[in-house]
Amino acid sequence: MAAELRVSRSDPGHLGRAAPVAPLSLTTARWCARQGWPVHPLAPGRKTPVGNCAACRAPGHDRGACDCLRAGRWCHGFHAATLDLPRIERWWGQHPDLGVGVASGPAGLVVIDIDAHAQELPGRDRLLPGVGISAAVDLTGLANGFHTLGVLAALRGAQSPADDESTLRVCTPSGGLHVWYRGDGAHRWQCSAGSGAGRALAWQVDVRAHGGYIVAPGTVTPAGVYRPVGEARMPAPLPGWLARELERTGHLACEPAGGPRPVPPRARQAVIAAGGGGGAPGRILAGALAEVTACASVPEGAAFSEKLNRAAYTLGGLVAAGHLTEEEAARALQEAAAQARPGQERRCRAIIRGGLGAGRARPLSLGGRA
C-alpha cells in the first residue's frame, strides 16, 4: 500500500494520492478494489448494506436469476460486491454518502471481529465453546471479547489477534476491533457470531469470512470512523494456531459431494507454465481455477461471477509477476468458465477482462505480505 490509512472526515489521503476532490467513500472503495477485495455499498450512516429494490424484496425472489445483479445494481448486499472500477465509480461517485463493505469470502479474507459490549456474562460453557472452564477458575474481570480471545490465545501459547501488530487492525466506533487476515486459498472458512447455538469461536467474537462482509477501513458513520491502528496496513496470513481453532469450532466448510471439479485439460497447461502445480504460483493458479469449475455443480447461488472475478484478479497478479503470460491466463479462465457456465461466454469474457486488468496493476508477491 502506497500510503498510510490516516482517516478523518476531511483527510482522504489515507488511501493514496487520489485527487482531493474525490469523496472519501469513493477513495476507500477504489483502494479496496485495488487490493482484490470486492466492494458493495452500505446504507448511508450505517454498517448494513443498502436495501434491495422492490422487485428483489418480493416474496419468492430468486437471487440466482436476479436481473439486478447482471445489470450491475447493488441489490442483495455482499452478493453484488465487485472489483469493476467503472461500476465503483458510478456507485460511490453518484452517492458519496454510501459506506463501503468488503465481501470477505471472495476477497479471501478471514476477519476476527472482537466486540466490547456491556453484556451479562454467559455460562462457562459458552465463553469458549468446546473448551471447558473449571468452576475453580475465577472469572472476575472477564467482560468482553478481548478477554475471551485473550484467554483462548493464552491456552494455546499464542499471541491474541487483538495484539497482533503484523496485520491490519481496525478500531470500530463501538470500541471493538476488526483483525484482518488473509486465507491461504485452500480453505473455505465460514462466518459465525459470538457463541450462539451454531459454530462459534468465543463469546463476543465474530468471524467474517465466506457468507459475510466486513466494513472497510476508513468508512465513516455518525458513531465515528472505522480507524486503522498500528503500522500494518495489509492483512497478514491467518496464523496456524487460529486456523486450527477455527477448524475445531466448525468454521471450515465441507466440500460438496464429489469434491471440486478438476482443472480442465487446456487450463492445466497454464498451471504447468506457472510451475506445474508443485510451486506456489502453480498451486495458487490451480486453486483459483478449481473454485471456478466447482460452480458447475451448483447451477444457482454459487457466487460464480464473484469467483470468476476473483480468479481473474489472482491470475492478473501472476501475469504481472511474470509467472505466466496474459494469453495463458485468459485461455485458462475462459475454459474453466465455459465448464462451469456453458453458453455464457460473452458475459464471462467481460468479467475475465476486467479482473485481469485490475490484477495486472498489483503483481502477486509470493514471498510474504504484500
Reading the chain (370 residues) residue by residue, the pLDDT tens digits are 333 343 333 333 344 444 444 678 999 999 999 888 999 999 998 889 998 889 898 888 888 788 888 888 899 889 999 998 899 999 999 999 999 999 999 999 999 999 998 888 888 888 998 888 888 888 888 999 999 999 999 999 999 999 999 999 999 999 999 999 999 878 889 999 876 556 899 999 999 999 899 999 989 888 899 999 999 999 999 999 999 999 999 998 765 444 444 555 555 555 555 454 446 777 778 888 888 888 776 655 567 787 888 888 888 888 988 888 899 889 989 988 888 888 788 888 888 988 898 888 888 765 543 3
What percent helix, strand, coil does the chain show, rounded to 5? 40, 15, 50
CATH class of the domain defined by 109-248: alpha beta
Report DSSP letters for 104-126, one per residue.
Answer: TTTTTEEEEEE---------HHH
What three-state secondary structure class fits 181? strand
List phi, psi (to 5°) of 72.
80, 25
| Residue 238 DSSP code | P
| Residue 324 DSSP code | S
List phi, psi (to 5°) of 145.
-65, -30
C-alpha cell at 276: 506445474
Give the Cα separation of 144 and 228 in Å (integer).
21
Give the Cα separation of 184 and 112 in Å (integer).
16
What three-state secondary structure class fits 227? strand
What three-state secondary structure class fits 82? strand
Q: Are strands 177-182 and 236-237 parallel, antiparallel or unpaired?
A: parallel
Residue 49: beta bridge partners?
Answer: 42
- Strand ranges inside the chain, DSSP E: 39-42, 99-103, 109-114, 169-171, 177-182, 205-208, 213-215, 220-221, 224-225, 227-229, 236-237
Element (H or E) spanning 31, and its range?
Answer: helix 24-34
Domain spans of the chain, in order of start: 12-101, 109-248, 265-360
